[in-house]
Structure 1
Amino acid sequence: MIRGPKAERRILAKGPKDAMEISRQAVDEQLRACGHKRDADVLELFLSRKELTDVIDLSRFKKLKYLWLHCNKLHGIAFLTRNYCLTELYLNNNAIFEITGLHNLRSLHILLLHHNELTNLEATVKELKGLLNLKILNLYQNPLCQYNLYRLHMIHHLPGVEFLDRNRITNKERISTITIFNHEKSHILQSIAFGGKVDVSWNTIPPIKPKSTQHLPSDFTFANNVDKTVFANPEDAVFVRAMKRSAVTFTSVNWDTVPTRDEKDMQEDGAGPAQMRTITLR
């Protein structure tokens, strides 16, 4: 088919206005199909497979909870900054390369972003951190998934998520994130384990700083036990100090005075009582 000059000019003239008009028409069709006459009655919008490259501002639907936008050609989500009641958002199979503004949707419970063009892992995590109610998240088939330890990185920064990329997050994975990303917490958990040994091979700094030694002043006395008497002979000072210590007494049988079996047989008279030996130490 051969197009004339006028047809080619019409094709080149298509731009943002045409994209917004296509989006507006798609929204109006959905409203008519559902029989909605007021924006306040709109709880869901099904706008998938509409070849959309942009979407009109949807902030007028203040009670919107479910939004399907998968299988389009979207590049961003700037049209969703004020839909605070949104709980389920399906954006998979688009060409989205950034999700700026997503952190405002604090009620999101399900977010599907797989098969897109997200490359910046840190920027994506920063936006998702604000979604405290998020439980199900899909990010697979994005370039950022190629990062080393991608899954554990997401689990560490999004502790509330229960399913990531269609798989439930396990306790073993959560423990692994603590070991890898939070050395201090990992050391504490290991140190309070019942009967467990602490592996501190990853940390050359001792977890507990030794207390500094405190020296008593020269004029300090405690319970009048400090004797400041000066002796000419050091041995006298040692003797006096030893005499002030508490005495410890040990008493035991002197086995040298106990006769053997043969000696008992040879003795005519009854053997006397064994002698006791007492040792006193200070």
Structure 2
Amino acid sequence: MGRRPSLATAFLHPTRSPGRTNARRGGTAGARPPRERWGRHTRPALPPPAASERDSKMAAAASPGGQAVEKQLKICGFKRNVDVSVLYLAGQGLRSIPSLSRFHRLRCLWINNNKIQDLTFLIKNYCLTELYLNNNELTDVSGALKHLSTLQILLLHNNQLKNLGKTVKELKGMLSLQTLNLFHNPLAQDPDYRLYVIYFIPSVQLLDRKCYEFGNHTNKVPFENPQDAVLLRAMTRSLMEFSSVDWNKVATCQERRLENKVEEPHEKLTVQFR
């Protein structure tokens, strides 16, 4: 008979179960899935990108506008988005363009001679100084250009802009705007169209390819019609108003108490002049 192990030997060398041994050696019974290690700690698994976001980016890149942008980047040799300062997308029949917000330093953009109908892709291009949007299908620019405060050249001719007030309201905050084209739009049919634009956007020096005199600018060609210059200067003067009432027709307090009848409104004469 063999010698029985002592109590101390059994305590130091416990008998291992077959299942646990197989599990530690890579067996199937009770096996744990391997964990990915990163140094001394377990690296957390990164969540996959959202499918909708990934799909939208892929769709934008695959669109004709996205392909045109990528083509120009290759032609110009731009490898980083911060290096893109000019972008030429003219004359390609584009109906839409993906967001250009990644080009933070974009200064000159040509999108003329396309079929663009909205300008939502310009929402974050604050550094633009030249924007060529002529010969498109724009009907309204409200909310699309107001943030471009450094714009100096803006060409919007040959579009379908109809509302003169809304268009000028969108542009009047551009204090650096010097060249503006709005001809061949329905809004240019307004008889006071040029006076209205120059009055609310005084920084404009070249409107529809013609120089105009306004304010303290003395190096410009005068108005073709002298009456327009006189009318524009009159609009810039302060307005004075005087009102008068014929007090002989106004009843006194005693007369109002004795007659006890409803008092008719008084006639007031108001004169305004500049």
| Shorter-chain TM-score above 0.5 | yes
Instruction: Report Cα offsets for 1:208-237 as digits up to 9, x if no partner.
Output: 9xxxxxxxxxxxxxxxxxxxxxxxxxxxxx
Deviation at 1:59, TM superposition (A): 0.9
Task: Within 5 Å, give how 1:249-268 maps onto structure 2.
Answer: none
Corresponding position of 1:176: 231
1:87 and 2:129 aligned: yes
Report the CA distance between 1:175 and its aligned residue: 4.5
Q: Distance in 2 between matches of 1:60 and 1:71?
A: 24
Q: 1:86 to 1:41 in 2, by over 3 A?
A: same
On the 8 A contact 2:239/2:273 being kept in 1, the answer is no
In structure 1, the residue matched to 2:107 is 65
Offset of 1:79 from its aligned partner?
A: 0.8
- Which structure would you say has the larger Rg? 1
Equivalenced residue count is 176
Paired residue for 2:189? 146
User: Which runs of 5 or more residues in structure 2 are unaligned?
Assistant: 1-58, 215-222, 242-268
Shift of 1:116: 0.3
Asked whether the equivalents of residues 240 and 273 of structure 2 are also in contact (C-alpha less than 8 Å), the reply is: no
Tell me, yes or no, if the aligned pair for 2:240 and 2:272 is still in contact at 8 Å. Answer: no
- Does the 8 A contact of 1:74 with 1:94 survive in 2? yes
* Other-structure match for 1:166: 209
1:167-206 superposed matches below 5 A: 167-171=210-214, 172=223, 173=228, 175-179=230-234, 181-182=235-236, 184=238, 205=271
Distance 1:110 1:207 in 2: 37
For residues 17-32 of structure 1, what are the structure 2 equivalents within 5 Å? 21-32=63-74
SS at match of 1:26: helix
Mapping of 1:29-48 within 5 angstroms? 29-48=71-90
The answer to whether the 8 Å contact 2:85/2:107 transfers is yes
Q: Which amino acid aligns with 2:174?
A: L
Kindly indicate whether the alpha-carbon contact (under 8 Å) linking 1:20 and 1:54 is maintained by their aligned counterparts in 2: no
1:108 aligns with 2:158: no
Aligned-residue sequence identity (percent) comes to: 43
Which residue in 2 is equivalent to 1:245?
Answer: none
Q: Give, in whole Å, the separation in 2 of the partners of 1:26 and 1:162.
A: 34
User: What is the TM-score normalised by the length of structure 2?
Assistant: 0.59
> What TM-score does the superposition give when structure 1 sets the normalisation length?
0.58
Aligned to 1:123: 166
Aligned to 2:38: none
Provide the residue aligned with 1:96 in structure 2.
138
2:117 equivalent in structure 1: 75
Report the Cα offset of residue 19 of structure 1: 10
Contact 2:60 2:66 in 1 (8 A): no
